[in-house]
Amino acid sequence: MAKKIRLGILGGGGDSLIGVLHRVASFINDNYEIVGGVFNPIWDENIGFAEEIGLPTSRIYIDFDTLVDEELKLPENERMQVISILTPNFLHFPMAKKLIDSGFHVICEKPMTTTYDEAKILQASLEKSQTVFALTHTYTGYPMVRQMREMIREGVLGKIHKVDAQYYQGWINTLIHDLEKRKTTWRLNPEKSGASCCVGDIGVHAFNLIEFTTGLEVKSVLADFNYLYADNKMDIDATMLVRFSENTKGVVRSSQIATGEENALSIAVYGEKGGIRWEQENPNYLYILSDDKPLQVYKPGHAYNSPLSLDGTKLPPGHPEGIFDSMANIYKGVAKAVRGEEYNSGEFPTMNDGVRGMDFIEKTIESNSKGNVWVEMEN
């Protein structure tokens, strides 16, 4: 049995949802052991949280720079191998850059950076280091999303005509109407969140899901943002038209003021032979549409699914798998890469996905600011 990979974690302390998600995901397939980290910039809360979750405090560090310095002093067979970045957006780039340059493998929350220029710098650093970098577009880990990807690649839909992706939430609706309440979330603070809130937080997930499943690359975008109030500087609702080619187009809709919505991410892809649709809140069902056949429903765990889908399925058919399993599949893919094992390119999002995501975010901002015009993507 392979020795467990030594994992460090930055951020994600206290009642952080993303912290729980990553910690549980790292345990699910028995590939990792959390050995330390920096969970909170306040030392008492940092050390207290480590004790609360049962970690030895000898490798709980006062800050990020100390973690890197002290870990590099350890023998290679003892130091952290992979470090997960779960901090607010503005810290992703400096942390990832230093970790990559220091030879650590990195698992990073999205968006990867706060600017496209930073993303390109990070990409250059990774090419020099030859370490493993994964970006946690979590939804790519669902078995039925992976099945969707493989079926489209096999030509089930034929030539793709249209793509429609939606990510609706309603949580900012409880804050946005009160200036003081708005100040309680870093998501609405451009200094911490970056230039975009809605697109940077959830719209980019829908964008990534399109490119992941279809294998197509968006060539240009036209965006229309809603800020709701003149004194709010961050987008909280966005509708984006996207073009892949002259005859293949789509739409990305994202909102954090869709009152009553929870986590309504969905994608539909339509081609000359049929359509295929998936919804995150019902992740075990993949719908295949056709003009000449009854509706088909694919479910995880069955032998008719692709090897990539089955590799990400942990339970027998009929047992629901959810967001923890999806993130765990990304961690599982990273473990294979770190160990030098063979893996499918669909097992975890890469640096290229991060670069593409930042390009998309910036181009939507540019399109909206110029009066809703078409803007070309960089690559």
Per-residue pLDDT, averaged over 102-123, amounts to: 96
Three-state DSSP class for 53?
coil
pLDDT single digits (tens) 223-278: 999 999 999 989 999 999 999 988 999 999 999 999 999 999 999 999 999 999 99
**Predicted model pTM:** 0.94
Residues 6+ apart with CB under 8 A from 359: 116, 119, 377, 378, 379
Count the residues in the chain.
Answer: 379
Whether 46 is in a domain gets the answer no
Confidence of residue 62 (pLDDT cuts 50, 70, 90): very high
Please state the rounded mean pLDDT for residues 29-48.
Answer: 96
Concatenated DSSP letters of 143-186 = HHHHHHHHHHHTTSS-SEEEEEEEEE--GGGGTTT-HHHHTT-G
What stretches of the chain adopt beta strand conformation (E)?
A: 5-10, 32-38, 82-85, 105-108, 133-135, 160-168, 220-226, 237-245, 248-255, 264-271, 275-279, 286-289, 296-298, 375-376
Task: Identify the band that residue 18 occupies on the pLDDT scale cut at 50, 70 and 90.
Answer: very high
The verdict on residue 246 lying in a domain is: yes
In the chain, % of residues over pLDDT 70: 99
Report the percentage of the chain scoring pLDDT > 90. 92
Split at pLDDT 50, 70, 90, the class of 2 is low
The arithmetic mean of pLDDT across residues 186-197, rounded, is 88
Q: How does pLDDT run across 267-308, given as a tens digit for each residue?
A: 999 999 999 999 999 999 999 999 999 999 999 999 999 999
Q: How far apart are CA 47 and CA 37, in angstroms?
A: 10
pLDDT at residue 194, as a whole number: 85
Which residues form the domain of 160?
Answer: 148-315
For the cut 60, the answer to whether the pLDDT of residue 1 exceeds it is: no
C-alpha neighbours within 13 Å on the C-beta side of residue 104: 27
Res 274: pLDDT:
97
Reference 62, options 43, 45, 48, 80; nearest CA is 43
CA atoms of 131 and 108, how far apart (whole Å): 13
- Is residue 50 in a domain? no
* Sheet bearing 105-108, strands edge to edge: 32-38, 5-10, 82-85, 105-108, 133-135
Question: In degrees to the nearest 10, what's the CA dihedral of 15, 19, 21, 26?
Answer: -140
Q: Would you tell me the crossing angle of helices 204-214 and 143-153 to the nearest 10 degrees? A: 50
Q: Are 333 and 87 in contact (CB under 8 A)?
A: no
- State the helix-helix crossing angle for 351-369 and 204-214, rounded to 10 degrees: 130
Model pLDDT for residues 210-236, shown as the tens digit of each residue: 999 999 999 999 999 999 999 998 999
Number of structural domains (the chain) is: 1
In a domain, 188, yes or no: yes
Model confidence band, residue 126 (pLDDT cutoffs 50, 70, 90)? very high
Q: What is the CATH number of the domain that holds 267?
A: 3.30.360.10
In-domain check, residue 79: no
User: How many Å separate Cα 205 from the centre of its chain?
Assistant: 6
- Comparing C-alpha atoms, which of 274, 287, 286 is closest to residue 143? 286
Which residues contact residue 52 at a Cβ distance below 8 angstroms, ignoring those fewer than 6 apart? Answer: none
In a domain, 58, yes or no: no
Q: Does the residue 229 lie in any domain?
A: yes
pLDDT tens-place string over residues 350-379: 999 999 999 999 999 999 999 999 999 997
User: Is 191's pLDDT higher than 90?
Assistant: no
Q: Which residue has the higher pLDDT, 183 or 85?
A: 85
The answer to whether residue 189 sits within a structural domain is yes
pLDDT digits (tens, 9 = 90+) for 321-355: 899 999 999 999 999 999 999 999 999 999 999 99
Strand partners, 167: 254, 265
pLDDT digits (tens, 9 = 90+) for 138-162: 999 999 999 999 999 999 999 999 9
**Residue 266 corresponds to which amino acid?**
S
